[in-house]
Amino acid sequence: MPAPPKKAFALRVDPALYAAIERMAAVDLRSANAEIEVLLREALARRGVKVEPPKPPRRGRPPKQG
């Protein structure tokens, strides 16, 4: 079963904050978007909100039909 599509929305942030996020993302070899997701998940976890991690997409060839 394919993963549900991600929700897209516009986010307005201070340019200095975005630059800091980009620097952190580069260190972790992530995109700025992925870094923001990680930061949001960490902040929610600190507040006791459990969010299931996304299921990674299946890679490779499908199994042969027998």
Region of residue 47 (left: phi > 0; alpha: psi -120 to 50; beta: else): alpha
DSSP state of 57: P
Give the pLDDT score at 55: 79
pLDDT of residue 4: 67
Contact predicate 41/48, CB 8 Å: no
Per-residue pLDDT of 4-57, as tens digits, reads 678 888 999 999 999 999 999 999 999 999 999 999 999 999 999 988 877 777
What is the token pair recorded at 66? Answer: 């027998």
The domains of the chain are located at: 15-46
